[in-house]
Structure 1
Amino acid sequence: MEPIPRVYRVEGMDCADCARHVEEAAKGLPGVESAQASFASGKLFLVLKDPKAERELERVLKPLGYRLRPAEGGTRGWPGPWPWALLTGGLLALAFLLAQAWPQWGTYGYALAALVGVFPLARRALAGLRQNPFSMQALVTLATLGALLIGAEAEAAVVVFLFLLGEVLEAYSVDRSRRAIFALGSLLPRRVLRLEGDGLHEVPLEALMPGDRVRVPQGERVPADGLVLEGEAEVEEAAFTGEPLPRRKGVGERVYGGSLVVAGSLVVGVERPPLEGFLAQVERLAEEALLRKSRMERLVDAFSRRYTPAVLLLALFWGGVLPLFLGDFSRHLYQALTLLLIACPCALVVSVPAAIAAGVARGARLGVLFKGGGALERLGGVRHLALDKTGTLTLGEPRLVWVEAFGVSEAEALALAAAVEAGASHPLARAVRERAQGLLLPEAREHRVVPGLGAFAQVEGEEVGVVRPSVRDLPPELAARVAALEAEGKTLALLVKGGKPLALLAFADAPRLEAREVLEAVRRLGLKPLLLTGDAEAPALALARALGLSPEQVRPRLTPEGKLELVAALDREGGVAMVGDGVNDAPALARATVGLALLQGTEVALRAADAGLMGLRALPRAIRLSRLLRGVVVQNIALALGLKGLFLLTTLLGLTGLWAAVLADNGALLLVTLNSLRLLWARV
């Protein structure tokens, strides 16, 4: 039987430790080939050898407090154990009132509140005892029962209520972050105006298919990825590129589903189904990124696995061994029960994945699609920035920028060159035809292209060619002009008729409008930019001058192997981010500390890279986001460990008790989660 992939949303999986328990439970079942649980996305990814394993998994997870739900569904109401928290809180309030009116009965009221509140925790602890005997539910259950045993009924009730309330708040904040990650899909309109033979028809979004034509009026969102067929409009793409200003879109230009038509109206030809377009790609990459743990996340996981047993051993020593020598069994047991609560590493375990999840979500809204948390974490630490030239810093399409005619008008020369190039498909031919649009072209016949020489055709009985200047013997003045233009980085072609030069055509691959601004931004961030290209030195230096780079920052005539060797050397010298878009950039992108590919580049480059950029302007944002993330991770770890260490010390000194330990644990968890969530709205 072929392996069967399945994806589920897991209700109740509200922390990284929960995700680990769900994953281990799934992996332990026969018929499950592989399982991966993501705390950040709240999903379980399965590959099954036997379909019956699904029902068995549901049976195993239910007692642990987890429910499998369809992946495409959404949560309803408040997540977490809010009914139990509400019930326990009510009983605690009643017990307090009872204690004020009849003190002798107040003890029973507190004990009842504690037992009711601890019931769902004890059930989950028992169900998962074989998998994890040191779960938070088990620790809180032991601490509560121990407190009841030594007569601390009120504190036991407060401990359980605070823990349940913390779980509800934690589940709510995690649910908010998950919704932020996958909120892009909500940008698509529910109904659209489809153009049919007899006019406009309003249809559901799901009815759209590739090839359909849709009308997008002002104030509406584009329903699917496609090309503009009619009209012109200002289109805002800020929701997933981070660009606040709308861009003018006209016929032949691409628009993304979810972008907003601010002014004007468009007719768009649908290229991909709405639910399989760019926004779906963003969400899929974000989800894949959340499944890949960063180096810091792995280190924290390893530490937390050792931290809990160490504190438990200390609690056992404090409550079971010290009283044998110092007496006062009740006080030492109370402190040991408090240590049990401090032993939970929840805040520490969540500190990194919560920040990574928020960072990946924010990156997606800034036009940066990270494939893993590790790439987002590493980017902020690199010292060098290597950038490909053609298609990355330039538009990747040569433009005819200058025509010098000899004995004929510029229009005549252009029309003649366009007639000859009508039979060619190379980029220079397209540039000539584009520049000659609107001109009346002479009739040309017998088109032929001679590799290494140029294009030729018969025009009015004479052979006319667009050739490389180097294949002709040129007059001294023209040769000097050719040399000067080539030194400026321009590509040249010579229009000849009957062997006589008629015009010199100069082509240039124009730099992207934002390239200089982006390079200045990364320099302010302390990175050292380096231009890598396979082009000759002259055009490379010309582009460098236009972008404000020095000759020392240019590496021309590089083969793909040369780029790879240079990137490997920079990786050893403090780390390097490589930005590229072509097939020849793929080896260097894969070898770099972090590889970033422009999304309009080749599929090979995108597969090799660690992240995709919607545009060059997203690059400095990605670096600033990574640095902010690194700071948030350090703050989270400091908060989690600092509060644990503080209350560990105050507990041993007898200054704090059970309720303070739970308050510290839940407080640290909420602080860590809220500190991570601020990445969702950070300005970078």
Structure 2
Amino acid sequence: MEAPRVRVFRVEGLDCADCALKVEKALSGVPGVVQAQVSFASGKAYLHLEVPGAEKEAERVVSALGYRLRPEGEAGRSVFGPWRWALASGGLLLLAFLASFLLPPGLASWGYGLAALVGVFPLARRAVAVFRQNPFSMQTLVTVATLGAMLIGAEAEAAVVVFLFLVGEVLEAYSVAQARRGLRVLGELLPRRAYRLGDGGVEEVPLEALRVGDRVRVPPGERVPADGVVLSGEALVEEAAFTGEPLPQAKAQGDRVYGGSLVAEGSLVLRVERSPKEGFLAEMERLVEEALLKKSQVERVVDAFSRRYTPAVLALAGFVALVLPLFQGDFLGHLYKALALLLIACPCALVVSVPAAIAAGVARGARAGVLFKSGAALERLAGVRYVALDKTGTLTLGRPRLVRVVPFGVSAEEALALAKGVAEGSSHPLARAVREALGPKALPSEEHRAVPGLGAFARVEGKEVGLVRPEAWDLPPEVEAQVKALAEEGLSLSLLVKEGAPLALLAFQDTPRLEAREALAGLRQLGLKPLLLTGDREASALALAQALGLAPEEIRAGLSPLDKLRLVGELEGRGGVAMVGDGVNDTPALARATVGLAVAEGTGAALKAADVGLLSIAALPRAFRLGRKTLAVLRQNVALALGLKGLFLLTTLLGLSGLWAAVLADNGALVLVTLNSLRLLWARP
């Protein structure tokens, strides 16, 4: 059986989390739709289709609810909510208000009634369309409250209620649109054209025409059209949108560049490695959207609370309207209070408060070099106390370099030339470091071979020469003393031998990342305790610690993957731990930690096991700052939504506020929590 195919659509008119739930429920019941997921934050619907043509029925069902389904990428309307109806209702309300000074009161009430009916019409139509999915939707509650107010002679208040509600929906739709634009800003970085190099010279082609393997020229001031490798040229490239680094990075032959980065100075010729639609930008957008589909713990709690909140307030409204008049009289007064309670019963502001903050936080993280795979990861990051960091490839470049040659009876230049000859036939990281070392060229070599556990050998100038592990060779006392001294400095060693006799010791050191020291200082400023976990010898770990400003007590050396896993488990029980790694051996600890963070240059296994991807180690403090800021905004939103609801619930029961105040309690809180969440899009992480 053929696997269901996934189609992505944009849902027009999706301006609240409750709307998203209605659309998702309706789409799930469409024949041929195996699964439907609707994200309010991104405004997208993900349909898993197993029947060709099912999308047509899906479009019809969504249209009946008052929304519109458009395929991803198709141009849509830039309409912010029911602005036309708000304009019409507001105009009639103004005319009725002016007429009240010129006409008898009875005639003016007709004007208010007309304004109320015009404004409530689109709400009533939406309420009827979604009644089966949700009989207590906000549209239903506002419609009932408006018609009830007109029945008891409060036409002016009914008109004001409808107008305020429509204005609130327009402002809400605008705020939501701005938030979604923040989510899509990454995709807008790619240029529309590229300068492809062919046999006939340079030709300007649309971005869609680029293929893997094409050569393209990127002049100064232009954006890189696709992920690629520099073939020639030198340039300063701005990558702030990917890594969060404000300063341009120098790029030259052999360096990788991201599609969408800006060539600030110089020009480059590069080979396309991935098509524009499948490049790193596309991966970032996909991770962001997947994160928005996964609910955080707070969001699940708020959803559960909101499902109980609405029936409870509706029951209270029924008690006020039907029971209290039996004891206190004043049926119309109690009915008016009950109508106000109907408006307060909608939990829209509360439901939106969490996903709006999470969406803004995830989107801001993507622009700061931090890719969150879920809202839960963003939330958990704020409560971490310890940060465990892998050494090789995380705090270091993972590329050892030759730092010293100690010869025995030959010159250093002669020893290095022989070593380069042997290294020509080996793919070992230390052999690569020998080949890249400055100095004499490699001597001609042949008959290359590798002996597992021992080293690499070749015939150089007719003699057998090898690069071997010192501990696996029988060493003279003076050479053994040198090995011990260099090992105590934390250096990795290789012994150059010729015809079995030691000729030189080659010392290597993994280069610390330039940004690692600053990242660790940033963690300490946040009150976090960093710990270096490594399988290397303690001398090597201490040498790196000194370079990065780590204290000896913050080092854990000689650890196996199982040791790392056990230590991370212990730290999690002592206040929460974030594990930062890049290799396959880090994956168990990444999965076990409170939050796992993987450096993007690492292995696919590490990235898959982690909850967060880092485009560089410099983004690590940003991830924690953003997590804390998002959690703070999230708490502010929940307090704001519940606080306003509670305040107006109390004042309504006491008779101190009416219908218009109830609308402000709902729509006002909705707009405020959305605007408060939008602050995260421009926050400095």
Fold shared per TM-score above 0.5: yes
Partner of 1:243: 245
Whichever residue aligns with residue 429 of structure 2, its letter is P
CA shift in 2, pair 1:229/1:318, >3 Å: same
In structure 1, the partner of 2:283 is 281
What secondary structure does 1:545 align onto? Answer: helix
In the other structure, the counterpart of 1:18 is 19
Match in the other structure for 1:604: 605
Counting only pairs closer than 5 Å after superposition, residues 529-608 of structure 1 correspond to structure 2 as 529-608=530-609
Deviations 1:40-92 (A, max 9, x none): 01111111333454333333322321111112234433221111111111111
Q: Give 1:485's aligned amino acid.
A: L
- Match of 2:481? 480
Query: Where do 1:455-470 residues align within 5 Å?
Result: 455-470=456-471
Whole-Å separation in 2 of the counterparts to 1:614 and 1:440: 36
**Is the contact between residue 386 and residue 578 of structure 1 (CA under 8 Å) also seen in structure 2?**
yes
Structure 1 residue runs without a partner (length 5+): none
Contact 2:450 2:457 in 1 (8 A): yes
Indicate conservation of the 8 Å contact 2:370/2:619, yes or no: yes
Residues 418 and 436, structure 1, Cα contact 8 Å, conserved in 2 = no
Q: Return the alpha-carbon distance in structure 1 between the equivalents of residues 230 and 444 of structure 2.
A: 32
Corresponding position of 1:299: 301
Q: Deviations over 1:144-189 (max 9, x none)?
A: 0110001000110010011111111111110111011011111111
Contact 1:41/1:290, CA 8 A, preserved across alignment: yes
CA distance in 2, matches of 1:27, 1:82: 30
Secondary structure of residue in 1 paired with 2:308: helix
Match of 2:262 among 260, 276, 281: 260
1:377 aligned partner: 379
Question: 1:77-115: CA deviations, max 9, x gaps?
Answer: 322111111111111112112222113311101101111
Distance 1:619 1:409 in 2: 45
Map 1:316-335; keep pairs closer than 5 Å: 316-335=318-337
Task: Using the TM superposition, give the Cα deviation of residue 358 of structure 1 relative to its aligned residue in structure 2, in angstroms.
Answer: 0.4
1:134 to 129, 133, 136: 136
Point out the more displaced range, 575-584 or 673-682. Answer: 575-584
How far does the alpha carbon of each residue in 1:325-346 deviate from its partner, in whole angstroms, 9 at most, with x for none?
1011111111111111111111
* Aligned counterparts of 1:112 and 1:491: Cα–Cα separation in 2: 85
Aligned-partner Cα distance in 1 for 2:213–2:61: 47
Counterpart among 349, 355, 358 of residue 351 in structure 2: 349
Q: Please give the alpha-carbon distance, in whole angstroms, between the structure 1 residues aligned to 2:663 and 2:172.
A: 14
The answer to whether the Cα contact below 8 Å between 2:568 and 2:592 also exists between their aligned partners in 1 is: yes
The reply on whether 1:202 has 2:204 as its aligned counterpart is yes
Rounded to whole Å, the distance in 2 between the matches of 1:56 and 1:629 is 39
Mapped to 1, the partners of 2:5 and 2:226 lie a distance apart of 30
Indicate yes or no: 2:80 matched with 1:76.
no
Listed one character per residue, the Cα deviations across residues 498-550 of structure 1 (whole Å, up to 9, x for unaligned) are 33332211011121111121111112211111111222222222222222223
TM-score normalised according to structure 2 size: 0.97
Q: 1:435 Cα shift?
A: 0.6
Question: Where does 1:286-435 land on structure 2 (aligned, <5 Å)?
Answer: 286-435=288-437
Q: What's the CA shift for 1:481? A: 2.0
C-alpha distance in structure 1 between counterparts of 2:441 and 2:11, whole Å: 67
Residue aligning to 1:523: 524
Structure 2 partner of 1:452: 453
Letter in structure 1 aligned against 2:654: L
Offset at 1:366? 0.2
**3-state SS in 1 of match to 2:109:** helix
Paired residues of 1:414 and 1:436 also in contact (CA < 8 A): no
**SS, match of residue 398 in structure 1:** strand
Aligned to 1:38: 39
State the secondary structure of the residue aligned to 1:309: helix
**Hey, what's the Cα distance between the residues in 2 that align with 1:383 and 1:43?**
36
Amino acid at match of 2:441: L
* Contact 1:25/1:131 (<8 A) preserved: yes
1:567 touches 1:578 (CA, 8 Å); kept in 2?
Answer: yes
- Determine if contact 1:63/1:123 at 8 Å carries over to the other structure: no
TM-align CA RMSD: 1.4
Counterpart amino acid of residue 558 in structure 1:
L
Measured against aligned partners, the alpha-carbon deviations of 1:425-469 in whole angstroms (never above 9, x if no partner) come to 1111111111156x3332223222222222222223332222222
Q: What SS does the aligned partner of 1:134 have?
A: coil
In structure 1, distance between residues paired with 2:450 and 2:608: 35
Write the deviation string for residues 243-300 of structure 1: whole angstroms up to 9, x where unpaired: 0000100000000011111111111111111121111111111000000000000000
Deviation at 1:198, TM superposition (A): 1.8
Q: Distance in 2 between matches of 1:307 and 1:33?
A: 31
Q: Give the TM-score, by structure 1 length.
A: 0.98
Letter in 2 for 1:25: A
Q: Distance in 2 between matches of 1:48 and 1:425?
A: 47
Contact 1:469 1:493 in 2 (8 A): yes
SS state at 2:405 partner:
strand
User: What's the counterpart of residue 667 of structure 1?
Assistant: 668
Distance 2:352 2:207 in 1: 38
Deviation for aligned residue 1:562 = 2.1
Q: Measure the CA separation in 2 of the matches of 1:242 and 1:194.
A: 29
Partner of 1:636: 637
Q: Which residue in the other structure is 1:678 paired with?
A: 679
User: Which secondary structure state, in structure 2, belongs to the residue aligned with residue 224 of structure 1?
Assistant: coil
What does 1:490-509 correspond to in 2, within 5 Å?
490-509=491-510
Give unpaired runs (5+ residues) of structure 2.
Answer: none
User: What SS does the aligned partner of 1:100 have?
Assistant: coil
